[in-house]
A and B are shown apart, each in its own frame.
Chain A
Amino acid sequence: MIRVIGLGSPWGDDQAGWLAAEDLRGMFDEEYVEIKLLDCPGPSLLEHWRAEDSVLLLDAVSSKSEVGLIYNLEGEDIIYYTAPSLSSHGFGLAEAVALATGLDALPQRLCLLGLEIGDPHNTMALSPQTEGSIAKLTKAAHDKIRRWLSE
C-alpha cells in the first residue's frame, strides 16, 4: 500500500502539505494509494503505516531558502535534515522517524517531500507565494507515486 500523509494544520502556509495531499485525491486508485491528513501527530505517526508500506509525507518546510523549492528526503535522512521539533512535547517528525528507526518500525519506503515556505507567517491565510507553489509539490508527489506504483 502507498500511504500519502499530508502533515500540517488548517492555518497559514502550514496548510501546504494538506493542500497537496488533497489535490492528489482522485488521481489514483484508492485500493493502492491511501491519502490522509494529520495535524501534529507526534509519536502516533507510527500508527499510520505498516512495515510493508510505502509512505510519502508531504509537509511545509522552513529553511529560509527560496519559496517553492522542493526537498526530497528519504528514510533516515529525515532525522538528520529536519530540525528538532517545537511541536507538542518536542516530539515532531524527526523524532517520530528516529523512534521508528530505534524500534525497527520504518516502512519499506519512506520519503518526505517538503515545500519551502520561507519565513513562516503567523497568519490564518495562505501566502500568495506558497499558494503558487502547491502545484509543484503536488506534481512531485504525483511523480513519486507513479514511480513507486511502477516498481
Chain B
Amino acid sequence: MTERRIEIPILTRVEGEGALYVRIEGERVADLRLNIFEPPRFFEKFLEGRSWKEIPDMVARICGICPVAYQMSAVHAIEAAFGAVITPEIRTLRRLYYCGEWLESHSMHIHLLAAPDFLGFPDAMAMAQEYPDIVRRGLRLQGLGNRILSMMGGRSVHPVGARVGGFYHAPDESEAREILARLREAAQDVEDLVRWTAELKVPSITRNAPFVSLRHAHDYPMNEGRVISSDGLNITADEFEDHVEERQVSYSTALHAHINGRPYWVGPLARVNNNLDRLPEQTIHLLKQTGIAWPSRNPYHSIVARALEIHVAFTEATTILENYHRPEKAYVEIEPRAGIGMACTEAPRGILWHRYELDSAGLVKTARIVPPTSQNQAQIEADLRESVEEDLSLNDAALRARLEAGIRNYDPCISCSTHFLKLTVERT
C-alpha cells in the first residue's frame, strides 16, 4: 500500500499558530490533524477575581479582529446574572456596534485573506498588484467598519466604549451623520462585492454537518436569539452546556466541540442558511442574483455568505443612523448580585458563548468561554478528510493549497480558541 504524507507546517493567512498533518494510505485518509500549537492564554483564569466593571475591557483583548463579540457576549451574560434589563435604544446601539465589527472583519477576510486563494496569489500583497481595485474596495469597507467601531468604542482595535448596561457614551449626532454619509457612498461597493464573490470559481462540494447559529424572533441574529441547528436543536444559551461537549485532543491546545457526539459548523454560512427568512429585503434581492441554491452546503460559499452579511450590516447600520437621536443616557444602572449568567452572540466567525459566576460584590468566581473556532475545529477536520479523498489526484503542492483554502473557508481565529492547559501528572 502506498503511503503519502502532506504537511503544512505553518498555516498562513489565519490568526494564530497552527499546522496540518495528513497521512494517506492508498485512497484513504489514515490520519488528519489540525494541529494548533499556539500556547494557551488562560483568559478565563485571568478573569477570576475581577470586577464585573473590568470584564468588557479585558475580554476585548482576546481578539484584535472580533473584540465586539467578546464584549457583547460578556455584557449580556453578566446582565443575565444581575437581572439587568437594557433599553431598546441601547439594544439598537449594540446592533450598530456589531454591524461595525462584521463590516471590518468580513471585509478583511474576504479581500486580504481568502481572495488570494480564489484568484491564485500567495497573498494579498501580490494580489494587490494585479487587482488593486479589489483590494482598495476591501480596505474602504474595512475602514468603514473601523469607523463605526471607533465611534462606539473609542477606538477600532480593542475598543473600550462598551460596559455592562450599555455604553459609556452615545455617539454625537454630528459624528453619526458623518458615518451615515460614508455608508451611503459605500452602497455600490457593497452590492458589487456580493456579485463579485458569487462569480468566483469554486469547487463543487457538499458537506453534511449541522449548521448551528442563533435565531431571533424577527431580526437577523447578532446579540440575541436561541441557539438552533439545521437538524432540529433549539435551545437557550442557558442550555448550551447541556448539549455541547468540549473534548481535548492530544495534538491541539484548542478544544474540539461536538453536539450530540457530532462535529458541527458555525459562522456566516451557518447563519445565512439558518436565517434566510431574517435577511433584509434588499439582501434577499441580492442573494437571489447569486445563482446559488440556498441553503448551501458548500464551504466555499462561505465567502458569499460573508459578503451577504456585509450587506446586512451595511443595510442595518444605515437604517439605524438614519433614525438616530442621541439618547439621554447610554447605559442602565447596574446593581451587582450573586448569580450565574450565560449568553451567546454571533461573532463574525460564529456563535460565541460565555458563562460567568459572580459573587454578591460582582466579582467573577468562574468564567467559561467557548469561541467559534474551537466549535468549528472538529468540522474543519471532517471537511478536510473529505477534501483529501476527493482530491487524491492532485499533486502534493496543489493538494496543500486546496487544504489551506479549505481551512480558510472557516476563517479560523486560532488565538481566540487556544485556552486549555495540557497537564501531565506523574505520580511516584
Which residues of chain A have a CB within 8 Å of any CB of chain B? 38-44, 46-47, 86-91, 95, 98-99, 101-104
Contacts and interface: CB of A to CB of B under 8 A. Distances in A.
Contacts of B15: 88-90
10 contacts: A39-B158, A43-B142, A44-B139, A47-B139, A47-B143, A89-B13, A89-B14, A90-B12, A91-B112, A95-B124
Contacts, number: 67
B64 A87 contact: yes
Interface in B1-47: 12-15, 17
B146 A103 contact: no
Interface stretch (B125-133, B172-180, B259-267): B125-133
Contacts of B65: 88-89
Interface residues of B, number: 31
A42 B109 CA distance: 12
A44 B156 contact: yes
Interface in B107-148: 108-109, 112-113, 123-129, 132, 135-136, 139, 142-143, 146
Contact of A43 (B14, B108, B129, B158): B108
A70 B129 CA distance: 32
B64 A42 contact: yes
A40 B128 contact: no
B139 A43 contact: yes
A86 B10 CA distance: 12
Interface in B46-81: 63-65
Contacts of B13: 89-90
Interface of B: 12-15, 17, 63-65, 108-109, 112-113, 123-129, 132, 135-136, 139, 142-143, 146, 155-158, 413
B145 to A, nearest CB: 9
Contacts of A43: 108, 112, 124, 139, 142
The 9 A-B pairs at the shortest CB distance, nearest first, are namely A102-B128, A88-B64, A98-B125, A89-B15, A102-B129, A40-B64, A39-B157, A47-B143, A103-B128
Contacts of B156: 44
Tell me the interface secondary structure of chain B in the complex: helix
Contacts of B143: 44, 47
Contacts of B14: 89-90
Contacts of A87: 64
Contact of A89 (B17, B113, B158): B113
B157 A103 contact: no
A89 B132 contact: no
Contact of A40 (B17, B125, B132, B157): B157
A46 B64 contact: no
Given A40-B157, A89-B109, 20 more contacts: A38-B157, A40-B158, A43-B108, A43-B139, A43-B142, A44-B139, A44-B146, A88-B63, A89-B15, A89-B65, A89-B108, A89-B113, A90-B12, A90-B13, A90-B15, A95-B123, A98-B125, A99-B125, A102-B127, A102-B128
A88 B16 CA distance: 8
Contact of A46 (B17, B129, B139): B139
Contacts of B64: 40, 42, 87-88
Contact of A103 (B17, B113, B132): B132
A88 B135 CA distance: 18
B376 to A, nearest CB: 16
Nearest to A47: B143
Contact of B132 (A46, A47, A104): A104
A103 B155 CA distance: 26
A7 B128 CA distance: 24
A124 to B, nearest CB: 12
B32 to A, nearest CB: 23
Contacts of A91: 108, 112
A130 B112 CA distance: 34
A64 B113 CA distance: 30
Nearest to B415: A88
Nearest to A105: B136
A91 B12 CA distance: 10
A45 to B, nearest CB: 10
A39 B155 contact: yes
Contacts of A42: 64, 108
Nearest to B133: A103
B39 to A, nearest CB: 10
A15 to B, nearest CB: 14
A33 to B, nearest CB: 21
B50 to A, nearest CB: 14
Nearest to A95: B125
B128 A99 contact: yes
Nearest to B132: A103
Given A39-B158, A44-B156, A89-B15, A102 B108 contact: no
A44 B142 contact: yes
B112 A103 contact: no
B118 to A, nearest CB: 17
Nearest to A44: B146
Given A43-B142, A87-B64, A89-B14, A102 B157 contact: no
A103 B157 CA distance: 24
